Each structure stands twice: as structure tokens, then as C-alpha cells.
Amino acid sequence: MPSDPSFAHENRLRANLEHVQQRIQDAAHRADRNPETVKLVAVTKYTPLDLVQLFHDLSNSPLGENRPQQLIERANQLPKDVNWHLIGQLQRNKVKAVLPYASLIHSIDTMRLLNAVNRHAEELKLHPRVLLQVNVSGEETKSGFTPSQLTSNWEEIGQLRHVEIRGLMTMAPNTPDEKIIRESFRGLSRLKDELNEDSEEERLTELSMGMSQDFEIAIEEGATLIRLGSVLFTGCEPTP
């Protein structure tokens, strides 16, 4: 009797998830951290819908989409209890449409976008949670606030009343040099601490940093949210 491909895919996905969870625990322990302080966000942008549903059946981890339109479509196709994160670029003309669906937006990269979110949130009577994207490495190909821009705008950001700033997000430089990657993550962690010192209360609690190729370094440097795709879904998709 031929094997059931869907069963094989489920087994592979389950094995991938267990392996990733073990790596998260090991990295957290190396940094003397509680593994429960690290949350996995499963990046599903290239993943077929049935496999996304299967992952949701296996895990209560948030699902991260890069494109607002795909997030909205999938939010209407999958169970209502899915916790959706928007991790990709958000254009101002998409803000109003995506706000009712995204429980956390990782990619607020300019004051204009943040102000647009605040304005639409007031109109919709919502209070969205967001992260501010920071270009720690200074690469021209990456978007986001520079650390100095964020510091100089911090007082203005604190006056926004319809959006909840939960933390910071960054992407590491595209390099095999672990020291450069680690310094980028460490810089974001330092910036969070500095901004919290300038606030009346500790406003920033989340650090979204680390993807499939570098999430263990990110955990060692303080990540609370790691965005993983290929390391979870490789080998699970059906062959043509």
C-alpha cells in the first residue's frame, strides 16, 4: 500500500518543529534565559495554505505574512484563532485594510507610516500593537529608522495615543560573519534599553530579530520574537 503523502508531510513538519524548539531551548540556556521568553513566528509567505493549516494544528505560534493582501486573504481562509503578524513592508495605502487582521505589525519603518497607523487606528477604534523597524547596520538596501532618528523622534512617538509601541525589529546584515551579525542584534538590544531609560515606564518589551539562518545568535542577544520560515517548512511541501 503506498504511503499517504500528507501523513509524510505532517511527520516532517512535526520533526522540523521539534528540532527548532530544541535549538531555541539550547540557545536560550546558553544565554541563561528562560526559553519561554522566546516566541516563534512562523513565516508562511511561500507556504501552501494546507501546510499552513497543518502547522497551525501542530502549534499555537503566530503566523507571519510579508504581504498585507495575502495576510488578509489567509486570515479569511483559516480559523479565526490564528494570531497573524505582518512582518513585511507596509505601505500607507494598505494600513486601514490590514489593521483589523494583524495582531502585531513588525515593520513600522518611518514616522509617516507610524502616523498613518495612528490615524487609521483612531478612525477604526482600534489600538494596534506595533514594532519599530531599525536599520542598525546602516545598509542602504534596508529600510527602517536609524538609531539616531528613533532617538530624536522618541518624544513625538510617545505622544501617539492610538497605537501601542511594543518593541523594535531589525534584520541582520547579509553576511556569513557571525561577529557582524551578533553586533547588529546587540545594537538593537542596547537601543531598546536606552529608549526605555528615556521613558517614564518600560514601554519596549519585544525584540524581533533572527531568521532561519541566524536565530540562535539573536536569542543569545535578547530576541523575544524570531521569524522562521525555511527551517520549519523545508521538505514538507508536496513535489510537483
The whole-number pLDDT of residue 203 equals 82
- pLDDT tens profile 225-240: 999 999 999 888 654 4
Q: Is 33 left (phi over 0), alpha (psi -120 to 50) or beta?
A: beta
Per-residue pLDDT of the chain (240 residues; tens, 9 = 90+): 344 556 678 899 999 999 999 999 999 999 999 999 999 999 999 899 999 999 999 999 999 999 999 999 999 999 999 999 999 999 999 999 999 999 999 999 999 999 999 999 999 999 999 999 999 988 888 889 999 999 999 999 999 999 999 999 999 998 999 999 999 999 999 999 999 987 766 689 999 999 999 999 999 999 999 999 999 998 886 544
Q: What is the pLDDT of residue 198?
A: 76
Prediction pTM value: 0.94
Q: Would you list the domain boundaries of the chain?
A: 5-233
CA atoms of 94 and 90, how far apart (whole Å): 7
Going by C-beta distance under 8 Å and a sequence separation of 6 or more, which residues neighbour residue 151? Answer: 191, 194, 195, 198
Annotation: CATH topology of 5-233: TIM Barrel (3.20.20)
Residue 110 near residue 90 (C-beta atoms within 8 A): no
Distance, in Å, from the CA atom of 229 to the CA atom of 45, rounded to the nearest integer, reads 8
